[in-house]
């Protein structure tokens, strides 16, 4: 691969596409040459995102696979159900693809159709795609041509659970209480994300079953070697632009000691650039990761048989575009933190 990674972004007008353009502008080894948005084709980037205008002089274009032939990596920032229509032809062109939709996150066609209500057009790629959570699957990512970038809730949840799951410490039903900023719903306008509806309040949604639940279950099943892990997952919409906070209640095996559990987490995160275990007595907050690719993790032990894991991420960065850049770095043999390192914006 050339020294400079040539990048295309298909579906660049959404929040995740714009965040990709922000992050990649500062990436020393990448150049964004193509950014498509059929709805806004011909419009300047600055007309939609004034913050990006001074840094991207071109205009959005309509999707044309021929225009992507010179790229090394193509990011798909398309809605669910759209990525599977274009990924096969891009892969046939020899391009590496990082998909930010849910089209390749689930391992089976039946499960995808159950949760998303549409037939999968290329089920053969479901088992080929590498799940793009680098802290757990970087070896698989490095050898892939198609990476399924994880959802924001599963990222925050699985990063909080994988040391306990891998260490065989979970003994019962895991309860995940998750809260997300409004940008997680995307740029589309809905009554639920309308400012008067969201401001000064907070509410649960999709309580009977969120689309990220099978992703969490699938990830936990692989880590814990349990084909049917028990998980209760309740998301909430919080009146903030960015951020996810997960409070995870984990029933522990009878012989698990707090010092042992903390040691398992310290060992799991040792050397990780973006996952940080906070000091004892410190709790995470979403402001401390805003704009950054970090995940902060804290542990609390309310009793001898219970662990509370608290995690925070920026849903648009570590929960989406930042993680996608992290995956790009792995695919291209670059240091994993290239273009991503640095403290978050605070306050």
Rounded to whole angstroms, how far apart are CA atoms 114 and 97? 25
What pLDDT, on the 0 to 100 scale, is given for residue 255?
Answer: 81
Written as one string, the DSSP assignment of 27-96 is -TTEEEEEEE-GGGTTSBHHHH-TTTTTT--SB-B---GGGGTT-SEEEE-PPTTTHHHHHHHHHHTT-E
Gyration radius from the chain CA atoms: 20
Residue closest to 289 by CA, chosen among 280, 278, 279, 299: 278
Query: Which DSSP helix (H) or strand (E) runs through 131?
Result: strand 130-131
Count of CA atoms in the C-beta half-sphere (13 A) of 91: 19
HSE-CB at 147 with a 13 A cutoff on CA atoms is: 35
Give the model confidence (pLDDT) of 304-343 as tens digits. 899 999 999 999 999 999 999 999 999 999 999 999 999 9
* Ranges for all domains in the chain classified under CATH 3.40.50.720: 5-128
CA distance 231 to 237: 20
H-type helices in the chain, by residue range?
15-25, 45-48, 83-92, 109-116, 134-142, 152-166, 195-198, 213-224, 258-269, 322-331
SS3 103: coil
Instruction: Centre a 10 Å sphere on the Cβ of residue 2 and count the other Cβ atoms it contains.
Output: 10
Task: Give the Cα-Cα-Cα angle 288, 292, 297 (nearest 5 degrees).
Answer: 55
CB-CB contact of 308 with 302 (8 Å): yes
What number of other Cβ atoms are within 10 A of residue 262's Cβ? 16
**Pair of tokens at residue 75:** 């990011």
Q: Hey, what are 61's tokens?
A: 């274009």
* pLDDT digit string, tens, across residues 162-201: 999 999 999 999 999 999 999 999 988 788 898 999 999 9
Which residues fall within 8 angstroms of residue 237, CB to CB, at 6 or more apart?
Answer: 179, 180, 182, 185, 192, 193, 198, 202, 203, 205
The pLDDT, as a whole number, for residue 66 is: 97
- Catalytic annotation, residues: 152
Contact (CB, 8 A) for 86 and 65: yes
Q: Using CA atoms in the order 116, 244, 142, 337, what is the torsion angle rounded to 10 degrees?
A: 150
Q: Which two tokens stand for residue 198?
A: 């969201």
pTM for the whole thing?
A: 0.96
C-alpha distances in angstroms, 89 versus 64, 74, 199, 294, 346?
11, 12, 43, 33, 42
The alpha helices in 270-334, defined as continuous H runs, are: 322-331
* Fold category of 5-128 in CATH: Rossmann fold (3.40.50)
Res 1: pLDDT: 47
CATH 3.30.360.10 domain position(s) in the chain: 153-315
Cα distances (Å, whole numbers) of residue 72 to 95, 115, 139, 331:
6, 32, 20, 10
The count of other CB atoms within 10 Å of the CB of residue 110 is: 10
What residues contact residue 50 under an 8 Å CB cut-off, 6+ apart? Answer: none
Residue with tokens 């970038």: 149
Fold held by 153-315:
Dihydrodipicolinate Reductase; domain 2 (3.30.360)
CA distances 324 to 55, 85, 211, Å, are: 20, 20, 20
10-residue stretch averages of pLDDT, the chain, 347 residues long: 85 97 97 97 97 96 96 96 97 98 93 93 95 97 98 98 95 97 90 90 94 94 87 96 97 90 97 97 97 98 93 98 98 97 91
């Amino acid at each position: 691969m050339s020294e400079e990674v040539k990048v295309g972004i298909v579906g660049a007008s959404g929040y995740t596409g714009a965040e990709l353009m922000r992050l990649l502008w500062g990436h020393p080894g990448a150049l964004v040459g193509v950014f498509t948005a059929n709805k806004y084709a011909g419009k300047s980037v600055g007309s939609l995102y004034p913050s990006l205008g001074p840094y991207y002089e071109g205009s959005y274009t309509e999707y044309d696979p021929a225009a992507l032939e010179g790229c090394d990596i193509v990011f798909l920032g398309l809605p669910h159900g759209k990525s599977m229509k274009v990924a096969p032809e891009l892969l046939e062109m020899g391009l590496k693809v990082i998909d930010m939709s849910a089209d390749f996150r689930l391992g089976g066609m039946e499960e995808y159709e159950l949760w998303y209500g549409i037939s999968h057009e290329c089920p053969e790629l479901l088992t080929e795609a590498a799940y793009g959570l680098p802290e757990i699957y970087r070896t698989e990512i490095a050898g892939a041509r198609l990476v399924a970038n994880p959802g924001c809730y599963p990222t925050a949840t699985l990063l909080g659970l994988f040391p306990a799951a891998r260490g065989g410490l979970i003994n019962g039903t895991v309860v995940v209480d998750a809260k997300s900023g409004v940008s997680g719903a995307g740029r589309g306008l809905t009554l639920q994300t309308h400012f008067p509806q969201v401001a000064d309040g907070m509410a649960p949604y999709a309580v009977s079953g969120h689309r990220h639940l099978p992703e969490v279950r699938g990830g936990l099943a692989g880590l814990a070697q349990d084909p049917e892990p028990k998980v209760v997952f309740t998301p909430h919409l919080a009146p903030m632009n960015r951020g996810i906070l997960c409070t995870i209640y984990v029933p522990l095996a009878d012989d698990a000691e707090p010092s042992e559990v903390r040691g398992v987490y310290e060992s799991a995160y040792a050397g990780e650039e973006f996952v940080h275990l906070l000091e004892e007595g410190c709790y995470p907050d979403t402001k401390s990761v805003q704009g950054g690719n970090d995940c902060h993790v804290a542990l609390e032990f309310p009793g001898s048989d219970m662990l509370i894991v608290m995690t925070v991420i920026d849903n648009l960065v570590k929960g989406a575009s930042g993680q996608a850049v992290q995956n790009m770095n792995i695919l291209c043999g670059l240091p994993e933190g290239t273009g991503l390192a640095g403290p978050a914006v605070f306050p």
